[in-house]
Structure 1
């Protein structure tokens, strides 16, 4: 997850579904450039700035000069010039298709989580919407501002917010459309109990202290441990925190990076991977100590000038991927002692999100496209470029399709959330042939697949959400 942009765009609420409108960008923090950012419309100097787009490549109103960065050079305007020739071979028979769109005109989509036939979407409208069978099923609301991250563990839903809090929700046993808020991390009880001791305070900002177990800046990402015993939260405050799910206690706070932590993922064998605006990807090793945990720094996988914006681990826990503000996806192979495996080059602007499913890797970008990569041995090929969004692709989620065309074919439903206020659904097959292929993707291909043909959108019924206390 990245830090929001330098202008807060007003969101239109209610509205009709499936109308896709361009909207003013509102983005996330990426790199240390001494850029100014805002908090509820107030501009403050920060060490880790907002990301600003290279607007010259975008359609109106994204190329509005009034929304341009005051900095001549930012992570968004210093992308590598990867001159990829997009080849249209006229082949529209690919099994990868756009199934439809979910649109609720109330804000940009910042987070997604899929669980079975349910899809949770978070936006800057303070609302979390629940969709079932392509229809709006339910919803719940927090008064904290935009929803930066969503993860699901059984009947519990964890949401990370702009105010630095993690909120915990549970589906009502009497009515599956009702979600009750169980509490906030840290809990009020722990906060008051521990805030009485001065030893529990650390320096948060210059001349300002905060309790060590509370994030004092926006939550950027959430991740669950393999056994779903621990919840990890990363933040722009340069730390990640470890929470025991059973009792909602914060066990540890780790100062992980020199700048905003944009992504965290709990991997295998107690390893945790973090990516940050300081351009590094770090590996941490978890050890249980009594009733608590202790995370030790293990190694740095990547150190570069460009910010790391997304981190993901494949389902087999054999490959670690990271996306960067230069539009590249690096990967490392576990079987080769975490050696660098290569670079996937498919985007013209920053990679904003990554998700894995089976042998597939999906990368969403500020260039409004989604690259579908298939792992083949130690290499990757690009199956297709999914296009259809009118804004940057901010988040992705994937679920296995229950009904496949054949027993030998694995197909996935991919959800993509964008700053065009829409969520799109794609059907993607692992057996899909590359629509255009002239070499290995990790060897800088000379051609990329053509975009997918659009499918008609399906209708969605809207429901009122339940307004719950913050």
Structure 2
């Protein structure tokens, strides 16, 4: 794995070499030693602030657990899921812990929700599938991606083994990730789940039957983020510094490469799609956020948002807002106005560790407020009203 992937691993708990990350990581934190805890080489430029009379954000409260850094979040209908580098996934409702369920592998790197299913991505290269038991309200695991049966069946045919781009002299079954699963994204339109991995690929899974329908060798280094957009568009960002745009063929399952949006020295660390698929945001290890406007299959670079001194580790978009969480322990809240113009509404500060993940949902009123959850390597989740 390349230099940028190693930098990502140091920040992403706790792979500190380019060797395989199969299995659980070390439980100690190298945050203070991480190369990402260096100031951004870019100047911190002044940014226009919003002219609003009411406070743009307020801290609602803090959710705290002793075990594990918070590495992943998902929220729906007031229910919050938190994943960490422990084996437990916790649920919260109304600022109180509701339940917990345990996976057989630590380090929950991503969580996404789709209808009655919960998908969790793990360091061991697997995706676990959960559902809520309607009788008792408890969570139970109903499968893994790929399933044991699918692995056994695929292993019987030599042609199902393919080279792993991000790992030299190694081959693996094409339906199984050969390294940590770093990111998940659901496309409700097609019924597909997308997974990205440090093995250099992204895979498409059909949600209704949990079948892997395609594996794409997307990058020569770790894929750190995947995001499904509208009209069959899929975006991938990698430690190789590239953002690539893929399009699902209308008549089938295959994805073709449309173009590379970005090629840079800094690792791409996060992606988000906003405006109903009209804008794509990319966060990088240099602390900046690039964005593009999407018109059919044409993408135009709209500009750069500079608000952080260290690496951008996560992004979230909701309505006309986009939020960026950083290793500098802050969250910037931006509002998109008149196409490509962005105003920085506020900076949310309060974490004492890097902000690793974000989740956003509408508060339910008519006042345009959003409930924002920020997870940090300081072992807390902060809840904000924005």
Common fold: TM-score over 0.5: yes
In the aligned structure 2, how far is the partner of 1:224 from the partner of 1:206? 30
2:335 aligned partner: 374
Alignment map for 1:147-162 (pairs within 5 Å): 147-162=108-123
In the aligned structure 2, how far is the partner of 1:240 from the partner of 1:83? 34
2:187 aligned partner: 225
Matching of residue 131 in structure 1 with residue 83 in structure 2? no
2:213 aligned partner: 251
1:309 aligned partner: 269
Greater Cα shift, 221-230 or 161-170:
221-230
Matching of residue 268 in structure 1 with residue 226 in structure 2? no
Assess if the C-alpha contact under 8 Å between 2:56 and 2:345 holds in 1: no
Q: Is the alpha carbon distance of 1:240 and 1:26 closer, same or farther for their aligned partners in structure 2, counting shifts above 3 Å?
A: closer
* Shift, 1:35, TM fit: 5.5
In the aligned structure 1, how far is the partner of 2:198 from the partner of 2:360? 26
Assess if the C-alpha contact under 8 Å between 1:6 and 1:38 holds in 2: no
Please identify runs of 4+ aligned residues in structure 1 that moved more than 4 A. 2-7, 34-43, 84-88
Tell me: higher relative CO, structure 1 or 2? Use CA pairs within 8 A at least 6 residues apart.
Answer: 1
Instruction: List runs of 5+ in structure 2 lacking aligned partners.
Output: none
Assess if the C-alpha contact under 8 Å between 2:48 and 2:344 holds in 1: no
* Shift, 1:42, TM fit: 8.4
Matching of residue 323 in structure 1 with residue 283 in structure 2? yes
Matching of residue 193 in structure 1 with residue 153 in structure 2? yes
Q: What is the SS of the residue equivalent to 2:243? A: strand
* Shift, 1:82, TM fit: 2.0
Matching of residue 421 in structure 1 with residue 379 in structure 2? yes
1:59 aligned partner: none
Instruction: List runs of 5+ in structure 1 lacking aligned partners.
Output: 8-24, 44-50, 54-61, 63-67, 429-470
Q: What is the SS of the residue equivalent to 1:338? A: strand
Q: Is the alpha carbon distance of 1:385 and 1:52 closer, same or farther for their aligned partners in structure 2, counting shifts above 3 Å?
A: same
Q: What per-residue deviation string (whole Å, max 9, x for no partner) do you get for residues 361-405 of structure 1? A: 0000000000000001120010000000010000000000123xx
Q: What is the SS of the residue equivalent to 1:149? A: strand
1:280 aligned partner: 242
Assess if the C-alpha contact under 8 Å between 2:24 and 2:105 holds in 1: no
In the aligned structure 2, how far is the partner of 1:322 from the partner of 1:312? 7
* Shift, 1:289, TM fit: 4.6
Alignment map for 1:25-424 (pairs within 5 Å): 27=13, 36=18, 39=21, 62=32, 68=33, 74=35, 76-77=37-38, 79-84=40-45, 94-176=55-137, 178-204=138-164, 205-227=167-189, 229-289=191-251, 293-335=253-295, 337-377=298-338, 378-403=340-365, 407=366, 409-424=367-382
Q: What is the SS of the residue equivalent to 1:316? A: helix
Corresponding residue pairs, total: 373
Q: What per-residue deviation string (whole Å, max 9, x for no partner) do you get for residues 117-138 of structure 1? A: 1000000011110111111011
Assess if the C-alpha contact under 8 Å between 1:75 and 1:307 holds in 2: no
More strand by share: 2
Assess if the C-alpha contact under 8 Å between 1:320 and 1:331 holds in 2: yes
Assess if the C-alpha contact under 8 Å between 2:326 and 2:355 holds in 1: yes
Assess if the C-alpha contact under 8 Å between 2:48 and 2:343 holds in 1: no
Q: What is the SS of the residue equivalent to 1:190? A: helix
TM-score between the two structures when normalised by the length of structure 2: 0.90
Q: Is the alpha carbon distance of 1:38 and 1:5 closer, same or farther for their aligned partners in structure 2, counting shifts above 3 Å?
A: farther
In the aligned structure 1, how far is the partner of 2:102 from the partner of 2:30? 29
Alignment map for 1:432-443 (pairs within 5 Å): none
Q: What is the SS of the residue equivalent to 2:43? A: coil
In the aligned structure 2, how far is the partner of 1:84 from the partner of 1:416? 24
TM-score between the two structures when normalised by the length of structure 1: 0.74
* Shift, 1:92, TM fit: 10
Larger radius of gyration: 1
Assess if the C-alpha contact under 8 Å between 2:42 and 2:286 holds in 1: no
* Shift, 1:95, TM fit: 4.1
